[in-house]
Amino acid sequence: MAPDAVRALLTWHGPLLVVLDDVWELKAIQPLLDALPSDACVLITTRSAQLARKLRGKVRMLEAPAGYDEALRYYRPEVAISESTDTQNNTAVVLCDISTLPGENRRARLLEALRCAHTALSVFEQIGHVLHSQVAADTLRQVREEAGELFPELWAELNVGEPPEWLRGE
């Protein structure tokens, strides 16, 4: 059924609340979003900071690091390695975004974002998770871009050797 037909059908339904739980990719839900009437209320939950940023910008962004710290208390690497590492990567994305806000310690936020993203990439590469490794590499690129000229200095503070060539050369 085409999105316009679904929308026409649902328009006569009355008020709608649509809950989409644990969404990881916008393309997975976009056809449904396109089909909903404009007055439908949509609640989307995600553990992906990147998706949250695409959907709503910096909504509750300043509260996110505390939530991720809490999650890391439960998603310990020895118990839930993938969840723990996803959380590290999401923390990096949020900290990078927060670094752009007025009044924030930009350098400290970027250094912590870089540390989290590097940790996530290292773990995902160790466990051979290709898709998540690519996401973590994209996060490192985002941090590098946001840090600009500060990046080499921040990377040196990680004390992990030279950055990979793909991170230096872009």
Give the bridge partners for 43, in sequence order.
19
Q: Which two tokens stand for residue 21?
A: 């739980």
pTM exceeds 0.85, yes or no: no
Per-residue pLDDT tens for 83-136?
778 888 888 988 888 888 767 788 999 999 999 999 999 999 998 989 889 999
Three-state SS for 30-99 is HHHHHHCCCCCEEEECCCCHHHHHHHHCCCCHHHHHHHHHHHHHHCCCCCCHHHHHHHHHHHHHHHHHHC
How buried is residue 26: exposed, middle or buried, by Cβ count under 10 Å (0-12/13-18/19+)? middle
